[in-house]
Structure 1
Amino acid sequence: MSNQIQGETHPGVEAAPAQTRGFRLNHSMLRVKDPEVSLRFYSRVFGMSVLRRLDFEELNFSLYFLTCLDEGSTVPSETDERTNWTFSQVGLLELTHNWGTEEQEGRIYHDGNAEPQGFGHICFSVPDLQAAVTWFDANEVEFIKRPEQGKLKDVVFVKDPDGYWIEVVQPDLMSRVGK
């Protein structure tokens, strides 16, 4: 049995203040040009489900909250309860659609990896990296890096329809990287 730690210590890391107990990362947001295209990609290629859609008519945008549900997961069917439940989850992906962007030509959002760099990527873990690569090929997913390419082996990068980078890893292969 391994010992449990409360996180690694590094310069700048402070003990979590008591006032932050119960804080959790709920979601990360990506702007998408065309929700139909992005929802098809994330649901088909990555098996994500939409937990909740929120429309803001006065501000001309919609939010879609997605996750990969575990088999047997139960999502509340009543709208208010499902909204509250959605905002209590961990690690969701929020896709934000600013109405009208689907009519614009080409990719319209900065992927964070071109200059000036900023945001880098989101990441999915998969049980079998080679099977995932085969699945991505079958679904014509755009690759940035395949597992055998580059110095960082057994790590994949693909692009979503808006050009955002998605890292894909197999957890039991990650102990070999970044020593």
Structure 2
Amino acid sequence: MSFKTEHQPGMTETPAPQTRGFRLNHSMLRVKDPERSLAFYSRVFGMRLLRKLDFPELDFSLYFLAALDEGETVPEDVGERTRWTFSQRGILELTHNYGTEIDPDFHYHDGNAEPQGFGHICFAVPDLDAAVKWLDDNQVRFVKRPEDGALKDVAFVTDPDGYWIEILEPARLGRLGQT
């Protein structure tokens, strides 16, 4: 018998057939300064800009980023690339509301300050020690290092807007949550 899901109160036993093909495509973060955020996510995390969509009549732009696999091809045709982007998994959407970048007092709630809400996004890395060194070399601010606290082998850093980013190496986490 193949794995279907863990069972917990509240979980539906069998997904409705109407949900077949549903997938989580992207998560969105609002950013104050898109140039600063694009530099951070592309330089530090190797993400590529798949598509930028501008909505000047609504005073915002959207930037869709992904960490592509080596050799992965993205359609060059703009319309096809837009359709392709919205069919992927693990996309990060950065939303820039025009004017925030010039307001020195403006900032977004990071979700971890009170009242808490949104928590973090997460990057799985092939080598946590090498990733920590890379993050240190790039002067990324750590909230928690892998050796700190009760939860070992998991790090948290922040992006330019203060959003938390979890960093983990899947190979180290096989016993996570087990006593």
1:107 Cα deviation (Å)?
Answer: 5.9
The residue that corresponds to 2:43 in the other structure is 44
Distance 1:44 1:102 in 2: 20
Question: Which AA in structure 2 matches 1:80?
Answer: G
The residue that corresponds to 2:150 in the other structure is 151
Q: How many residues align?
A: 177
1:7 Cα deviation (Å)?
Answer: 1.3
User: Tell me, what secondary structure is at the counterpart of 1:58?
Assistant: helix
Distance 2:172 2:2 in 1: 21
* Match runs of 1:128-167 below 5 Å: 128-167=127-166
- Change in Cα spacing, 1:106 to 1:138, as seen in structure 2 (3 Å) is farther
What percent identity do the matched residue pairs reach?
Answer: 67
Contact preservation (8 Å) 2:24, 2:89: yes
The residue that corresponds to 1:85 in the other structure is 84
* Match runs of 1:95-110 below 5 Å: 95-105=94-104, 108-110=107-109
Contact preservation (8 Å) 2:100, 2:106: no
Contact preservation (8 Å) 1:107, 1:163: no
The residue that corresponds to 1:33 in the other structure is 32
1:176 Cα deviation (Å)?
Answer: 2.5
2:9 to 11, 35, 39: 11
Residues 86-136 of structure 1: CA distance to partner in whole angstroms, max 9, x if unpaired?
A: 000011000000011001225600000010000000000000000000000
Residues 61-98 of structure 1: CA distance to partner in whole angstroms, max 9, x if unpaired?
A: 00000000000000000000000000000110000000
Structure 1 segments (4+ residues) deviating >3 Å: none
**What stretches of structure 1 of length at least 5 have no aligned partner?**
none
TM-score by length of 2: 0.97
Distance 1:144 1:105 in 2: 24
Question: Which AA in structure 2 matches 1:88?
Answer: S
Contact preservation (8 Å) 2:33, 2:96: yes
* Match runs of 1:106-121 below 5 Å: 108-121=107-120
1:174 Cα deviation (Å)?
Answer: 1.1
User: Tell me, what secondary structure is at the counterpart of 1:176?
Assistant: coil
TM-score by length of 1: 0.97
Question: Which AA in structure 2 matches 1:148?
Answer: E
